[in-house]
Amino acid sequence: MHVKEILQKITIKKGDITKEQVDAIVNAANSHLRHGGGVALAIVKAGGVEIQRESDEIIKKIGMVPTGHAVITNAYRLPCKFVIHTVGPVYGEGNEDEKLHKAIYNSLYLAHLYNLKSIAFPAVSSGIFGFPKDRCAKILIDTAIEFLENIQTSIEKVVFCLFDDETYGYFEEYYRKLI
């Protein structure tokens, strides 16, 4: 499959990820899955405290979610089926580009393992974690292209759902360079 064909599976939009009608939305989580701020708090507010409870159960079992890894919970009152919680890097901790790539790749792989057809991402790590928005856009879009190019997957649609104009602008600008 050529990059142009793959790009047809990718959508860049401005909006509220908690309203996305996809199989899974991605939560930009912290290692302890404490959903107390940013997109994580918005997801729990819209989806219900059950998301936090299920996240707490995961932490009881595994201790913590390392940076670059992803876990999945039910979505409860959200319009999607699942929430994939991925831990992106905090800017300044070192090796952030590789860690962010891994977080996005592992989220896509988890969706693939669950045989999902559609997934929506926020700009992981670019809010509270301080990752530069332009680099975030490039890494997220490039990782989605790489995944769709190299994995025979059920995923047919990858949405980057950005909350603010500035972040949307960086994603849209990078996407337009590729088409």
38 is in which domain, residue-wise? Answer: 3-178
Q: What is the CATH number of the domain that holds 74?
A: 3.40.220.10
Residues in Cβ contact with 176 at an 8 Å cutoff, skipping those fewer than 6 apart: none
Q: State the pLDDT at residue 3.
A: 79
Closest CA to 29 of 19, 41, 47, 20: 41
Q: State the pLDDT at residue 115.
A: 98
| DSSP assignment string, 139-169 | HHHHHHHHHHHHS--S--EEEEEESSHHHHH
For 159-178, the pLDDT digits (tens) are: 999 999 999 999 999 999 99
- pTM equals 0.96
Whether 1 has a pLDDT exceeding 70, the answer reads: no
Task: Classify 32 as helix, strand or coil.
Answer: coil
Number of domains in the chain: 1
Rg (CA), the chain: 15
Q: State the pLDDT at residue 29.
A: 97
For 65-98, the pLDDT digits (tens) are: 999 999 999 999 999 999 999 999 999 999 999 9
